[in-house]
Amino acid sequence: MLDTPNVDRKGRRREQTRREILDAAWQVAREHGLTAITLRDVADRVGMRAPSLYSHFDSKHAIYDAMYGEAWTEYEEATRLGRDGLTDDMRAAAHQIARGFFDFAVADPVRYQLMNQRIIPGFEPSSESYAPAVRVLEASYTAAAERGVTDLDDVALLLALLGGLIDQQLANDPDGDRFSRLLPRAVDIWCDGVGIPSGTTPQETTP
């Protein structure tokens, strides 16, 4: 983490240009798909020629890498607030986290594809961009352990179930809520299966 936030003028200008490039890349991705990003298209939208992007990113994959890091950081921050207010009751907490992640994924499918699906041919995130993803995962294991679920396999099972439901939702009912509606029951079944007591779980309200 060598990048200081760059308080000097030049550094701030540079940072702003990077921001514009990334915003343009997200824009292209949401319009035409993640794999349809081309350097020429991105450059056009920020008023540059394609090769000029290399002054700010080492390669196209470096742009994907920055986007990947952004996406996981967004989720980390979105859930941090929720984490403070996370119930002590494991079952309720499981519902809360599952719902949060599910909705976060469905709210921006392109972002989720980048975060959790291997859709860009040669791309693997750098360790720096991967860091927030690791932190989120570790926080999940910790939160579970603090609430009595100490078997790592149990948490892995919940995450697999959650990912499977999200995949089905995005692939087979992208504009509906068929699998979203299945989520609460799926979480309850998991809780029952791994022996989590019922506690005082308020039924999820669907307003």
**CB 193 to a copy of itself: min, Å:** 3
Q: Which residue has the tokens 């599910």?
A: 102
CB-based contact 179:169 (threshold 8 Å):
yes
Residue 136 binds which entry of DNA, a copy of itself, none, CB below 5-8 Å type-dependent: none
Cβ-based neighbour number of residue 166 at 10 Å: 24
191 vs 2, 127, 169, 173, CA distance in Å? 43, 33, 22, 26
Q: Which stretch binds DNA (CB under 7 A): 40-48, 70-78, 150-158, 159-167?
A: 40-48
> Residue 159 is which amino acid?
L
> Residue 93 is which amino acid?
A
Cβ-based neighbour number of residue 160 at 10 Å: 11
Q: Is 51 in the site for DNA (CB under 7 A)?
A: yes
Nearest CB to a copy of itself, comparing residues 49 and 178? 178
CA 180 – CA 192 distance, rounded (Å): 20
**CB 171 to DNA: min, Å:** 23
By rule CB under 7 A, what count of residues binds DNA?
Answer: 22
Binding mask 52-91 for DNA (x = CB under 7 A): x-xxx--xxx------------------------------
Residue 41 binds which entry of DNA, a copy of itself, none, CB below 5-8 Å type-dependent: DNA
User: Where along the sequence are the contacts to a copy of itself (CB under 8 A)?
Assistant: 33, 35-36, 117-119, 121, 153, 156-157, 159-165, 167-168, 171, 178-179, 182, 185-186, 188-190, 192-194
